[in-house]
Structure 1
């Protein structure tokens, strides 16, 4: 037997320079490190790859084709719809939920009772415009929908209220743009203008020197030229004859 006491052996064990190991690692090896990313470095649930694409904050799937880089352009979309309570809200809600940019939205009756035409102007990419048409076509009240041809007849109405410091000059500018004075007072003059977007924007620019007090624009409405249907597949009807869609 050696002459070491139990206390001497305890002192040697307590001063062992070898680092302690976890899980039975060999002496002299450092502790295992966790290579997994910290929680803050991991992608959020809405940013993780999904077999069908990512989703936006509302949970709507983002089409990878639409999300890719494309040039935006201005497009006029016309939809023939059945008159039902809330149809306009359903159309606008569908488009806004998918975060498409609506420039203007107008609705009005057609020659057929129970049918209305919605004209929507959007600033979107070609894939985005295609998605808008496809999603709108799925709505039950929509009879026909499509982009209006570039040479279509488009027009909008504008009411423009300006300061009346120089009535003669206001009247002269109004005549220049085929406008009509619909209200005149000692402090303001209200002019009605109609035309396509280019003409209206030009007229508004000319009236700015008088001081524009208020402005209201309807947004463009459009019809295709000649016998071309305004919405693809649409068969225009006359009074008393239902407007139908060519299946």
Structure 2
């Protein structure tokens, strides 16, 4: 018969501090803590090629991140596009979203913009055409303009912050809103700060490193 090693009875052994689940795995208090959702604006540079939008949106769908809006457009570089992604997640989710984006091959740079960043959205509101003068008056209040008008319907275009857009939609409710189309947020940091194209920076450093050096004697 094989004899076991000497030692204390299992009930007498020291146990690590902290809570454990039913499998005996220690529970991380930070991971268990409840975090309130917050809105985050992620500015992302990606390679301008087919399928990138589907790849990014697919990532967010698989990870079940709550996307409020996603916009994409060309930049000054024809090979690079810029995405502005607005999500509302608890703090761990925001950090996880950034890390998962950075792992995608087409993604060049990812940065969370500061709350004071410049954010603008465009909206088209189609309302009943019964009161054109009143509709024009409300449009003027929000610096909007009528882009289409008929006896049956009037379409107004407004550009501004999310708060301004939401206030305008509420104001147009009195005219029997028939349709609302919103582009989602486009955003950029204030001042001289820009989203850095890490690919360009790497190429610049590489080219600088290949510059011939003057030979010297030891």
Q: TM-score, normalised by structure 1?
A: 0.68
Deviations 1:56-80 (A, max 9, x none): xxxxxxx996674101011111100
Within a 5 Å distance, the mapping from 1:62-81 to structure 2 comes to: 68-81=33-46
Partner of 1:161: 126
Counterpart pick for 1:96 among 29, 53, 61? 61
Partner of 2:172: 207
Deviations 1:172-198 (A, max 9, x none): 000110001000001100000100100
1:114 and 2:114 matched: no
- Residues 179, 68 of structure 1: alpha-carbon distance in 2 compared, 3 angstrom cutoff: same
- Stretches of 4+ aligned residues off by more than 2 angstroms: 48-53, 63-68, 242-247
More RCO (CA 8 Å, sep 6+): 2
Q: Distance in 2 between matches of 1:49 and 1:183?
A: 64
Cα RMSD over matched residues? Answer: 2.6
Partner of 1:171: 136
Q: Give, in angstroms, the shift of residue 209 of structure 1.
A: 0.5
Q: Distance in 2 between matches of 1:52 and 1:79?
A: 36
Q: Which has the larger radius of gyration?
A: 1
Does the aligned pair in 2 maintain the 1:66–1:128 contact within 8 Å? no
Does the aligned pair in 2 maintain the 1:193–1:200 contact within 8 Å? yes
Q: Distance in 2 between matches of 1:116 and 1:243?
A: 14
Within a 5 Å distance, the mapping from 1:9-158 to structure 2 comes to: 68-158=33-123
Q: Distance in 1 between matches of 2:77 and 2:147?
A: 31
SS at match of 2:178: strand
Deviations 1:163-219 (A, max 9, x none): 011110000000110001000001100000100100000111100010100010000
- Residues 81, 244 of structure 1: alpha-carbon distance in 2 compared, 3 angstrom cutoff: farther
More helix by share: 2
Does the aligned pair in 2 maintain the 1:112–1:243 contact within 8 Å? no
> Structure 2: any 5+ residue segments left out of the alignment?
1-21, 206-218
Q: Give, in angstroms, the shift of residue 229 of structure 1.
A: 2.1
Paired residues in the alignment total: 184
SS at match of 1:70: coil
Does the aligned pair in 1 maintain the 2:128–2:176 contact within 8 Å? yes
Q: Distance in 2 between matches of 1:137 and 1:78?
A: 12
> Structure 1: any 5+ residue segments left out of the alignment?
1-47, 54-62, 237-241
- Residues 85, 49 of structure 1: alpha-carbon distance in 2 compared, 3 angstrom cutoff: farther
